[in-house]
Structure 1
Amino acid sequence: MTHVEEIHFAIRRIYEAALFPENWPSALASVTEAIGGYKALLTEKTPGAAGRSFSSGFEVENASRLQREFETRLPDWIRAIPVGAPMRQSSMISDAAFRRSEIYNETIRPFYGGFYGIVAPLAQHPGRRAYFSVCRHLGAPDFSDDDLEAAKLIVPHLKTALEVQGRLEAADLRTQGVLDVITQLNVGVILFDAALRPVFVNPCAEAIAARRDGLLLSRQAVAATLHLDTEGLRRVMKAALAWHDVSRDGSVVATRTGAPERCYLSRRPPRPPLVVLVVPLCTTGLTSAWNSDARAVLFVMEPDSASGLEQMVLIETFQLTRREAALASLLARGIDLPDTAARLGIGIGTARGYLKQVLAKTGTHRQAELVALLLRSACMAGGVTTAPNSTVPCSHRSDSRGQ
């Protein structure tokens, strides 16, 4: 393997480690070889979290000692190195001064038996500090210009890989938080795959299906108690899946927002039908916490059950007026804007005006975003309350309603 090939191989291993952190020791081994060192250490520290390090060639205890040095008493000559710029230690501090330094006499000489090194800050601000260092044994010559050039090629990729890893970890935390919220929502949530099979069902959806009145669930299918409703349900589910059709023009896929599909599932009189919204999902990010096969999410709402959303909470949280809070609460229950206007005794134009104000005050841009925010607010505000049956009769149902 040529030197250039060693560098390219090390860079590939770095990005593999960003996705699979357990691969960092082997990635750093490749980096160490490409730079011509013997040992390497990668450290990172963020406020409120324990520092972490990955190393190659170090015993675990010794790597931890050097990590603490970077965290607690970083030498001024390392602070002076620009972020992302690897520097030979000998260009920042003389050999004589380094021999007298605390980091050498208390940590490096007794525990590592090394001397010359290359150091690169990868992040150096109060919110995050990260450093890379590679060293040679005591008695070995200093790193050459070629070694430093190899480090200059590799270090930017180390910096990027750590940032990617941090974003992935943050996304995992956000995903788990969203999952916790969805699990508690008093709205049915069902994720399904390309074969229309459920891959995630929250407790509310399970409870609705357990009544066998409108919604039916099995391991293999999402269905309705009426055959005609099942056909309509599967039609909108397939329409949502069409958003993932890779045979379509790529620019369309990139720019189109997945629009929700709607249908209604009849229940035994006098209960009004269940309202079903189906929205396509991106195949990365959130879905990985539930099932990587998930392609769309199905929301099931009971118009005659309260959303658990206290209007006073909306008024105080988002500074809505009473009319705006009433409209927002009805929308959160899956009731479309025309029906909401009718229930409030206002015209559709006035309802649209209220909706515009609510979107502005909540910082949302579309009705779907607003409903998602309100549902999260409902979950955080204290759970589900029971309301009397709605007075909207089943005869108000229309296949074209809300489209």
Structure 2
Amino acid sequence: MTHEEIHFAIRRIYEAALSPENWPSALVSVTEAIGGHKAMVNEKTPGAAGRSFSNGLDVENASRLQREFETRLPDWIRAIPVGVPMRQSSMISDAAFRRSELYNETIRPVGGFYVMVAPLVQHPGRRAYFSVCRHLGAPDFSDDDLEAAKLIVPHLKTALDVQGRLEAADLRTQGVLDVITQLNVGVILFDAALRPVFVNPCAEAIAARRDGLLLSSEAVAATLHLDTEVLRRVMKAALAWHDVSRDGSVFALRTEAPVRCYLSRRPPRPPLVVLVVPLCTTGLTNEWNSGARAVLFVMEPDSASGLEQMVLIETFQFTRREAALASLLARGIDLPDTAARLGIGIGTARGYLKQVLAKTGTHRQAELVALLLRSACMAGGVTTAPNSTVPCSHRSDSRGQ
């Protein structure tokens, strides 16, 4: 295992998320980086037939393994935390594994023995797992193999989420930019030089006030110099996700994490909240914005939310209280203020937040906000912004600082 192999495998994973026909070749790279011989990713979603991608397995054996994961999942696999790869030998003895149905009906027929498994998704009705095995007679996965898997597995999980959202929204054909144009949250797509290539009407309206946010054809800036320096640092941090020239271990540890900062406004208005997220551009590019590399969300904490609570309830199965809390957090309001606005204690708010994180598969509040905003864009669950009649194809030409 080398950093270059890990780096290459991660790149292939994201290519497969955008073009699912590339999953078998991506799994070849993943299998080699982890030191395995055969591998599979299988997923079961509500109301749909299960699907799987495999390396080194014929159709019959792949189908048999997929059925085992869907219908007779062993307790030792159920006990593995989501996103954590575990060697079978750390969960069950070799002797017990040899007697198991999983081994005798799926692993043994393909000539394997030692297995490493990582749950990727465990939501009600939707489960996904990554498994990799070594040939019968080969030694167990080494500590280095396990460390490589720990670097790769989070990207497998993210790639499945990306693929699922692309499929659900059909981004390639549904005109997502038209939806973003109507979003009642400022949205700015910017390129590798930090230049805006797309600005929605809400962001234009915020910038036109020249209070916190400034825009020109060449730059995104703040009204205060110190805020501009911080803003550009977080924009560059988001671009680092696309930097494939660095050491592979650094890339492998980097996740698609949002970065937050604040832009001061004239009192008594609270500062603008800015969230910057690396952009997966598939389905969002055309001849004039193909250079977009990240998206910058600008939120006004004292304005009405752009997220419809019913959309949140339907999308994530939130309760009404959970949806109200998520909607306020998406506006950049911190948890104590959110609790005060909802008339609940901070402990109760933390409990709601914990449930919201669990239902969305996120781990931090910043990740949650980014997911909610992106989901609103994809689902069209947005409130129309004022003065949003300018066609989105002309947005990049109408700015002045």
TM-score (norm 2): 0.49
1:284/1:158 Cα in 2 relative to 1: closer, same or farther (>3 Å)? closer
CA change 1:249–1:188 in 2 (3 A) is same
Shift of 1:219: 0.5
Aligned-partner Cα distance in 1 for 2:265–2:129: 62
Query: In 2, Cα distance between the equivalents of 1:140 and 1:255?
Result: 29
Distance change (3 Å), C-alpha of 1:23 and 1:209: same
Gaps of 5+ in 1: none
SS at match of 1:173: coil
**Contact in 2 for aligned 1:305/1:388 (Cα 8 Å):** no
Q: What percentage of residue pairs aligned between the two structures are identical?
A: 94
1: CA distance between counterparts of 2:234 and 2:372? 24
* Structure 1 range deviating more: 200-209 or 351-360: 351-360
Counterpart mapping for 1:206-217 below 5 A: 206-217=204-215
Q: Secondary structure at the match of 1:369?
A: helix
Distance 1:175 1:212, change over 3 A: farther
Query: Aligned partners of 1:56 and 1:260: how far apart in 2?
Result: 33
Offset from partner CA, 1:227-278 (integer Å, 9 cap, x none):
2221221122122223333332224324421322211111222211111111
SS of equivalent residue, structure 2 residue 171? helix
Unaligned residue ranges in structure 2 (runs of 5+)? none
Deviating more after overlay: 312-321 vs 14-23: 14-23
> More deviation in 294-303 or 30-39?
30-39
Kept in 1, the 8 Å contact 2:222–2:263? The answer is: yes
Query: Aligned partners of 1:285, 1:99: CA distance in 2, in Å?
Result: 47
Matches of 1:251 and 1:149 in 2, distance apart?
Answer: 11
Question: Alpha carbons of 1:65 and 1:289: their partners in 2 closer, same or farther (altered >3 Å)?
Answer: farther
Give the drift of 1:191.
1.1
Of 182-191 and 161-170, deviating more is: 161-170
Offset of residue 400 of structure 1? 34
Shift of 1:336: 3.2
Larger radius of gyration: 1
User: Are 1:131 and 2:129 an aligned pair?
Assistant: yes
Contact 1:262 1:402 in 2 (8 A): no
Contact 1:179 1:289 in 2 (8 A): no
- 1:306 touches 1:385 (CA, 8 Å); kept in 2? no
Alpha-carbon RMSD across the aligned residues, in angstroms, is 12.9
> Post-superposition shift, 1:325?
2.6
Contact 1:187-1:300 within 8 A present in 2 as well? yes
TM-score (norm 1): 0.48
Spell out, residue by residue over 1:96-122, the C-alpha distance to the aligned partner (whole angstroms, 9 max, x if none): 999999999999999xx9999999999
Q: By how many angstroms is 1:352 displaced?
A: 3.0
CA distance in 1, matches of 2:257, 2:139: 64
Q: Say if 1:247 and 1:347 are closer, same or farther in 2 by CA, change over 3 A.
A: farther
Q: Give the 3-state SS of the residue equivalent to 2:281 in structure 1.
A: coil
CA 72–309 in structure 1, closer or farther in 2 if over 3 Å, else same: closer
Give the conservation status (yes or no) of the 8 Å contact 2:82–2:119.
Answer: yes
What's the CA shift for 1:161? 21
1:72 and 1:178, CA in 2 relative to 1: closer, same or farther beyond 3 A? same
SS, match of residue 287 in structure 1: coil
Q: Quick one: distance in 2 between partners of 1:118 and 1:397?
A: 49
How far apart, CA to CA, are the structure 1 residues paired with 2:39 and 2:296?
49
The answer to whether the 8 A contact 1:304-1:388 is kept is no
Q: Is the 8 A contact 1:260 1:279 kept in 2?
A: yes
SS of match in other structure, 2:305? coil
Q: In 1, distance between residues paired with 2:147 and 2:229?
A: 65
**What is the number of residues matched between the two proteins?**
400
> Alpha carbons of 1:67 and 1:206: their partners in 2 closer, same or farther (altered >3 Å)?
same
Partners of 1:184 and 1:21 lie apart in 2 by 30
CA offset at residue 285 of structure 1? 5.6
Deviates more, 1:82-91 or 1:282-291: 82-91
CA gap of 1:272–1:319, structure 2 versus 1, over 3 A, is same
CA distance in 1, matches of 2:146, 2:237: 56
Provide closer, same or farther for how the CA distance between residues 34 and 348 of structure 1 changes in structure 2, counting only shifts above 3 A.
closer
Contact 1:190 1:299 in 2 (8 A): yes
